[in-house]
Amino acid sequence: MAAPARPAGRVPTQLSRAIAPDVARGVMLLLIALAHAPGFVSDRAPTEANTVTELLRSLLAENQARSMFIVLFGYAMGQLLYRQEARGTGPAETRRLLRRRGWVLVGVGLAHSALLVPVDIVATYGFALLFLAAMVTTRDRVLLWTAVAVLPFSVAMISWTYQRSVAAELSGEPAGMVPYMSATYPAHVLSGLPGWLPDAVLGVVVVVSGMLFGIWAARRRYLDEPQEHAVLLRRTAVGLLLLALATRLPEALVVAGFWVPTATSTEWALAVLHTFGGYLGGVGLAALVGVVFAGRRATGGAVATALAALGQRSLTFYLAQSLVWLLLFYPFTLDLAGSVSFAGAAVIAVVVWVGSVGLATAMARAGLPGPAEVLVRRLSYRRR
């Protein structure tokens, strides 16, 4: 994936917003919804609908939505750096901006985890910015070698957590979020606080590789200018998605009940392959969006415009998804966790995402930005 970096000094004075990265974020929210919603229900009976849903969710969303989210977050940071450079902002001030943004995201993540659902990655992004602000403007080689060096630790950490969850589910124990759902809202708020800080800080290991790779990709404007990188994007999308399918399919067959490994070592190996394939697939899906736009005009049509509207408000609707899960599944709200099947929760996820696309489109037509994006921007940027 070697491509010449943007030559120094070639910074335009005005930058228009590229649509492909926003469309990718809009698609990403569908995968996040599919990864999260079924985790809140307890009905995982081996029906045909549940089995197919388990298989598709494991192939498309589980451990892959997160990776796509991480890479696109890094890409957004790269875009931010590029825009700051275009405005004449020096590296020192840019690093201060990233640290302020990091602290804001830590606060947003804390509120999300405590008030909504404790499935948060926003605070981890915030801590990652605090730790990485000093190196995000460094050379490409440093970014890539750091990403490669940290990746094995990231894969190991996710695989360990994931395999424990799969083992619990296959043994008939409560899985997903079900064991952690409190009976009352005050208990829910208090239960998530003790583990929030260590989880958020340790999670930095999970996001570093993808973030740095995303920053590196943004420097080359792969998704901002997909027409210029059409061949590379096509090869990347096809190659990585095929590898992701090959590495993730065995574990998906296990989760769906088609295969029962006889050795513990095999189970762990499949979990590692599934996680690593998720990284490949996350990058491949982002590249696939670039492939779609490489042969289209800049606006991409009505569907692309609607997805981009959602992607531009991705933080707002990521938090809104959590609010929906809280209202639907918890014992102190509608308490649907025991009455909705695994497949039914996936259908709910799709419906929520479609509704999000419609609402985001209406907000775009009305000229309304996402409230979470406004909050982060206002708290991150100093008044001039």
Give yes or no for residue 13 having a pLDDT over 60.
Answer: no
Q: What is the pLDDT of residues 176-204, one digit of tens each?
A: 888 889 999 999 999 888 889 999 999 99
Beta bridge pairs of residue 341: 43
Instruction: Band the pLDDT of 242: cuts 50, 70, 90.
Output: very high
0.85 surpassed by pTM? yes
CA distances (Å), 228 to each of 5, 72, 222, 290, 359, in order?
A: 13, 19, 8, 10, 33
User: What pLDDT was estimated at residue 296?
Assistant: 61
| Least confident segment among 132-141, 207-216, 263-272 | 132-141
**Closest residue by Cα to residue 19 from 314, 305, 310, 288:** 305
Q: Is the pLDDT of residue 290 over 80?
A: yes
Give yes or no for residue 285 having a pLDDT over 80: yes
Does 15 score more than 90 pLDDT?
A: no
Q: Which pLDDT does position 236 carry in this prediction?
A: 96
Q: Is the pLDDT of residue 55 over 90?
A: yes
* Each residue's pLDDT tens digit, 125-174: 999 999 988 888 889 999 999 999 999 999 999 999 898 888 877 777 77
Which of 29, 19, 54 is CA-nearest to residue 344? 54
Residue 1, pLDDT > 60, answer no
pLDDT band at 297 (very low <50, low <70, confident <90, very high): low
Structure tokens at 331: 């014992």
- Rounded to the nearest integer, the mean pLDDT of the chain is 89
Q: Is-contact 360 211, C-beta < 8 A? A: no
> Taking residues 37-60, what's their average pLDDT?
92
Name the band, by pLDDT with cuts 50, 70 and 90, for residue 220.
very high
Beta bridge partner(s), residue 43? 341
Nearest to 106 by CA among 129, 140, 83, 133: 129
Q: How does residue 273 score in pLDDT terms, banded at 50, 70 and 90?
A: very high
Inform me whether the pLDDT recorded for 2 exceeds 50. Answer: no
- The count of residues in the chain is 384
What proportion of the chain, given as a percentage, has pLDDT over 90? Answer: 72
